[in-house]
Each structure stands twice: as structure tokens, then as C-alpha cells.
Amino acid sequence: MNAPLSPSGVPDTGAAPSFSVLAPAPVVPVVVVEDAADAVPLARALVAGGLPAIEVTLRTPAAPDAIRAIAAEVPGAVVGAGTVLTPEQVTGAVAAGARFLVSPGCTDTLLTALRASGVPFLPGVSTASEVMALLERGVREMKFFPARAAGGPAYLKSLAGPLPQARFCPTGGIGPDTAPEYLALPNVGCVGGSWMLPEDAVAARDWDRVERLAREAAAL
């Protein structure tokens, strides 16, 4: 897990070592950290359960410290930053130790920053035109968001025919009952979700329960 990482889109410069955000596990936990002190035990529980790629969303003030702590103290984790919206957040997340970046959508300004970051990234899409625009820029791996609201497995299945080169990590409204339907699609590499991190378990710091739910998710 300590190998150098490459952008998931075609980089502007430099080599492209083989790494895909979609590869480590069928599920990427989407984590909202309110207290940075919870980051390390939470990440250890997820990794022990078989989910090494962990997306920490930049929705709370604790997120940068959480990324920094996981990167430093959980060797088996591949920690990334989610809800990346600006070039400044790209720079800050990578400086904190993020090894991949995820955004809910994509603009030209953000894409330029993502490609210059030196780490893999999943820009968000929800329409065929958005997928086509990223394919034109050499990006093949994307986040499909918000998955359930944007059409779910049926919509992604319909994209596989005309746009087979695009691969997705659908996120948004996905749970253990619906994840298998997404994962069965040829253009889906993994799904993102937070069902293995129920609020009551995190509040109680019940990391054994988180590990058990992570193990169930990793088996999908």
C-alpha cells in the first residue's frame, strides 16, 4: 500500500504508475469525522474489516487533521479526501497526506488542480455529457453522484453501451441491499457508502461493530 500513486486521468506530465481508486476493495467508506481523535481507531476498524481505501470528506473542520492522523498512524489505510471543491482544498488535502481525491462534480479549474496533484482522483458526474467531457480530457475513472437520485443502476447500465471506456464509483443513497446491483455492472469498480459507520456506533466508539460491518461490506 506504500507504492507511489498515479492520477486516474491522463497526467499532464510525469510517469503513470498503475494504481486505481477503484481497485482496493468493492466498497469505499465515506467518512464524516467530527472529532479527529476518532480518526485512527475508526480507520483501523475499517482496514481490519477489509476496507483499506477510506474517503474522509472535507465537510468538517476536523477533516484535515483526521487525514493527517490516518496517513501517519494507520499503515494499511489508503486515505483520501472527499467533497473536494476547490484547488486550495486539493493542495491542502495532499499536504495532509491524502492519497486520492474525490469531488461531487467537476469544473475546468478543479480538474486542472486535480490533474496537477500527483494523486489519483475521481471527479463527479451525473450525466452522459459530463462523462463525455471528462473522457475527452483523458479521464476514465469517475464518481457517479448522487447515484440513487441520478438514476441508479439502470442509468449506469445504460451508459455502459455507448461509453464502455468509463468506469465509475457510484456514491449517494447506496446501502448493503443495493450495493450488489451496482457492483454487478461491468462499468462499476466499487461503490461508496457510509452504512458501515452508523451514527450510534461512531458516537459510542463501538469500533468492533464498525469492523464487523466493514467485513460484511468487503464481502459483497
Which one of 55, 88, 211, 216 is the catalytic residue?
55
Residue 55 among the catalytic residues = yes
Query: In Å, how far are 24, 31, 95, 131, 213 from 195, measured between CA atoms?
Result: 18, 10, 28, 27, 8
Residue 181 among the catalytic residues = no
Which one of 73, 143, 199, 211 is the catalytic residue?
143
Sign of the torsion angle spanned by Cα atoms 182, 187, 189, 191: negative
Buried b / exposed e across 35-52, counting CB within 10 Å, b at 16+? Answer: ebebbbebbbbbbbbbbb
Phi, psi at residue 111, to the nearest 5°? Answer: -60, -40
How many CA atoms does the CB half-sphere of 128 hold within 13 Å? 10
Q: Which residues are catalytic?
A: 55, 143
